[in-house]
Every structure is written in C-alpha cells, then in structure tokens.
Amino acid sequence: MPAPRAVVGQRSFDDLGTPLHEVTFCVLDLETTGGSRTDDMITEIGAVKVRGGECLGTFHTLVNPGRAIPPQITVLTGLTDAVVRTAPRIETVLGTLRDFLGDSVFVAHNASFDLGFVRAAFERDGRSEYKPTVVDTAALARRMLRDEVPNCKLSTLASRLRLDHTPTHRALDDALATTDLLHLLLERAAGLGVLGLDDLTSIAKLAGHPQARKLTMTSSLPRTPGVYMFCGNRDEVLYVGKATNLRQRVRSYFGRDDRRRIGPMLREMQTIRHLELPDPLTAEVIESRLIARMLPRYNRAGTRADKYCYVRLDVESPWPRLSVVKDPSAKGVHLGPLPSRKMAALVVEAIQSVLPLRRCSTRLSARHTPAPDAVSCSSAQLGVAMCPCAGDADRLRYDAAVAAARSLFEGNADPIVEHLSVRMTELAAAQRFEEAAMVRDRVSALLGAVRRQRLTDALRAADRCTVRHGDRAWVVEHGRLVDVVVTGTAGRALPVDPPDPVVVTVPLPRRHVDEVLVLAKYFDKHADRLEIVSCTGEWRFPLEAPPDLRLAA
C-alpha cells in the first residue's frame, strides 16, 4: 500500500477544531434556596470568564429569591434573608448575565445543577433557550483524578491539589476555585492528546477507558474524512474503518463502545495509520478495497467475498433449474453475487414457491425418455413443481416458468412478488402468522437480491462516467472508482493506486461487488443533486424504490 498523502487544499476551522487556547470559558457557580430547579430560586451568582489562561472578567451578584432562605442553606452558605433583602430580583439580573455568558463554553462543577437553574430562570423570564457547549469539571475530575483523591468534591480537590482559591460555598469563591481546577485539568488532558474543544467535551467518557493512555496516538489525526487502520505488532493491520471525521471517530473507540471485540483489539493495537481522503464516499470505497486486500482479523463486514454466492438458472439446459453456486459459469444466467448462502436459499425458495421449476438435480438431455416405472418426485406429487424426469412436465408451461424466472434475473420481480404478497396477506388473515412470516422473509430476500442486481447493473451500464456533487467529481469506470477530482486543488486527490484494469464480465465478480454497491447506493440516494459531467453509457439513476413489506398483526 502506498504511503498516505494529504489532500491538497486549505482546511477550514471546522476541520482543524477549535484550539483550547482560543476557547473562551465562562466558569459559573450558583447558590440557591434548595436543589429543585422548578421550586427553588437562585440566591447568588458568581462567574469568571477566561481564555488562554488569562482572566477576562468576573460577574458577581446576590439575588433576592423572593422567599425565605431555609436554615440549612444559611448554615451552609452564610446567606440570610437580611443579607439578600436589598439585592436585585433575578429578572433584573438575567439580561446582564446572558450578555456576560455570550457564546462562551459553560463550565461548572456538577454542571447539570447550575445549568439547570440558569435555563429555568431564562425560561421563566421568557428568554430564548440557552444551549451552550458544556464542560463539567466534576466529570473530568472523576475520569482523570479519581486515583489521586478520595472523592471529587470541589473542596476536596482544592485541598489535595493545592488550588490557589479555596471554595467557601459562596458563588464567586467557588467559581474561582473551579477556574483553577479547570486549568489543572486542561494540563492533564493535554497528556491524553486533548488539543481542541471537541476533544475536551468528549474526554469525560474517554479518560476512564482501560486503554486511555493510547489516546495520544490520535493527536496527529485530522478532523477530515478518511480511512484509519489499527495496527498491531510488526505493523499487522488489525482493523480498517472509514470516517467522516477521522480524529473524532478513532477517539470514540475509547468511549462507551462496548462491542465484545473492541477491547481485545485496542489492547493489541500499537499504532494508528490513516489515509486522508476528500470525502466520505471515497473513504468508503477505499475502505472496501483495503479490507478486501488485507483481510484484517477484526473486520467482519466486507471480508466475506469468499462466502458470496450466486443463484444460477441454467437456461441452456433442456429443462432449466435453479441452483446456488459459489462461482458463476460461462453458461446460464446469474443473480448476484449475494452476501450469503442463506439469502440465496431464500431467493430460490421464493421463486420455486411461485414457479413450478424442477427441483431435482438429475442431468437431463434433450432426448431424455422417462423410464416406464419412473415415479414423480415429492415436489411434483405435492403439485408445486414439474418433474420431467418422470415425464410429468408440460413443455409450454415449463418454458413459461423459465421465461418468468429469467425476467426476474433481469430485474423484473413484480409478478412473483405480487403473488407472494397476496399469499402472505391470506396467511396473516387466517392467523397463520408463522407461515406468513416465512413468506415475508422469502419476499424480503428476493427483493434485496433483485435490488442489489439492479443497482450494480445500473452503475455498470454507465460505462465510464464523471459525476459531480459540489466541489467533488468522481470518475467511475465499469462500476469502479478510478479518480476523484476536487475543485481548486492540484493533481489527483485519490491517495491509493487506481483499481486493477477493469475486465467487464457478466455477472459481476465477487471481489468487486462491495465497491460497486457503495457507489451505486450513493448515486441512487443523491441522484437529484448530482451533475453528470460525462457518461459513455446509459445513466439510470435514480432507481424505483422497492415496495415496503409489512406483516399485518
């Protein structure tokens, strides 16, 4: 695999993330008459605005709650009814507070408490909803400091960590202590690769991960689309994945992803490699190629090409029949490749339940003559199939059934689907729900197979085409991506070798179907927003949507 290459072009601020030294934080603390944001009121507000380690200003005021302060609150805070009697009511303070908060990041110790009271006050005053970016220093402390302190109360942290300010259960003092704690936590977080605001807001759920020390491997990842590779010893690729935001996606593995295989994979991972790509579609295509080429141990989806199979109708035979085959033959027509033999078997059952094609595997010649004592097979005896082996077959009826099956292989499944849908409805009406569900599963598999076939056929019918969406243009040849052009950049943006020379074969080879489906599904979904710059074949997108099958209760 060639070395990763950067996509030419200047990144936006969204791509780079907001560096923490440029973020304005507003650290707030409240004193209240109790713990209920609906029934209790604010008695004191303290806030500190900081950026880059410098204090930009403070906000402090007592508030008359309009009700008596409970004795237990007075014991805790020292605030009495006499102290707050001459203070302004909350309604006269909110405008100034909202201006002070501005668009800064809201910071508090146990932020849900303070933010809940602030939002409730804004709502009661008829102000617009307040929805800031939130950083909770208590949550950060629990993740990064829990092994150093007995608990994460603000007073305990201030004492054990020797913060410059001491919390006193008064709003401004506590806000200043929380500001000291925030700066300490930012220093600790930098050791985990936290460089931007998006990293900081997610670190509370990441830092407690058993493999959190490996978060530093994500520091160099860009916030752009691409493909990432988790590598183990000797640079073995363990897993390949795609991402719209590489940094964010990779860091998410250290959060609450509890899939059984994630833990062992992260323990085994030693390095992270990546390819920066111009858009998510290209990333998905390159992901499918790399998975097919490398067969990483921890990838399940996309590594099953060796298990893909086809449904074959041997139309050259005097008495054609359906079969499931791993590799297509030079003769016959094929549906697929399909992702599993189970799906292929359901497709065959769906077709055979409507069309009376023979089910035996006996090889019959054009001059076959049944033996005098030949007995029809069980399917023929049940009336669901013809049996030319025993002479129990009408040539005209059989040829009509073969023609209907061949039409389905070419994308016309309507007659068979309609017949099965009627049968499913009848069974459901008779309360034979298990049988109805069986028919539904067969129809679903049949529709899925035909849909896959129509998608792949439609893209391959375009031959060579250039498709533009926004500033991206994809060059596709016979269903495979050969180039990506980004407006305003020099050179090609595809950082991997083009696919091998495409040999047009019918049906589509198993190893190519994943890539073709990725492109075809995208073009079908976004057909109304695409510009077809050139096309040497036939452009068929969008395709007609498949019917919605629902089993009545």
pLDDT of residue 552: 46
**What does the pLDDT profile of the chain (553 residues) look like in tens digits?**
444 433 333 333 343 457 888 999 999 999 999 999 989 999 999 999 999 999 999 999 999 999 999 999 999 999 999 999 999 999 999 999 999 999 999 999 999 999 999 999 999 999 999 999 999 999 889 878 877 889 999 999 999 999 999 999 999 999 999 999 999 999 888 877 777 887 788 776 654 555 667 777 888 888 899 999 999 988 899 999 999 999 888 888 876 555 567 888 888 899 999 999 999 999 999 998 898 888 898 887 655 677 899 999 998 888 899 999 998 888 889 998 999 999 999 999 999 999 988 888 777 766 666 656 556 676 665 666 777 776 677 889 989 999 999 999 988 888 999 999 999 999 999 999 999 999 999 999 999 999 999 999 999 999 999 999 989 999 999 999 998 988 876 545 555 555 555 555 678 888 889 999 999 999 999 999 999 999 999 999 999 876 665 544 4
The pair of structure tokens assigned to 439 is 């028919």
Please choose, from the candidates 243, 244, 224, the residue with its C-alpha nearest in 3D space to the C-alpha of residue 17: 224
pTM: 0.68
Say how many C-beta atoms besides its own lie within 10 A of residue 261's C-beta. 12
Please choose, from the candidates 416, 426, 408, the residue with its C-alpha nearest in 3D space to the C-alpha of residue 354: 416
What is the distance between the alpha carbons of residues 60 and 45, in angstroms, rounded to a whole number?
Answer: 6
Going by C-beta distance under 8 Å and a sequence separation of 6 or more, which residues neighbour residue 123? 129
What order do you get walking across the sheet with 464-469 strand by strand?
A: 480-486, 472-477, 464-469, 531-535
pLDDT of residue 372: 61
The pair of structure tokens assigned to 398 is 């059989």
What is the distance between the alpha carbons of residues 195 and 23, in angstroms, rounded to a whole number?
Answer: 11
Cβ-in-10-Å burial (0-12, 13-18, 19+) of 217 comes to middle
What is the distance between the alpha carbons of residues 448 and 135, in angstroms, rounded to a whole number?
Answer: 46
Q: How many CA atoms lie within 13 A of 473 on its CB side?
A: 17
DSSP H helices in 372-462: 378-381, 395-409, 414-429, 433-461
What is the distance between the alpha carbons of residues 57 and 79, in angstroms, rounded to a whole number?
Answer: 24
DSSP assignment, residue 213? G
What is the distance between the alpha carbons of residues 426 and 125, in angstroms, rounded to a whole number?
Answer: 60
pLDDT of residue 91: 94
What is the distance between the alpha carbons of residues 291 and 296, in angstroms, rounded to a whole number?
Answer: 6
What is the distance between the alpha carbons of residues 254 and 392, in angstroms, rounded to a whole number?
Answer: 65
What is the distance between the alpha carbons of residues 115 and 275, in angstroms, rounded to a whole number?
Answer: 40
Q: What single letter denotes the amino acid at residue 129?
A: E
CA-to-CA dists, residue 319 to 312, 394, 408, angstroms: 13, 11, 18
DSSP H helices in 191-261: 197-206, 246-252
Pairing of strands 42-51, 24-32: antiparallel
Evaluate the CA torsion angle 276, 278, 279, 283 in order and state its sign.
negative
pLDDT of residue 294: 87
Omega of the bond prior to 2 within 30 degrees of 0, cis? Answer: no
What order do you get walking across the sheet with 333-338 strand by strand?
A: 322-325, 309-313, 333-338
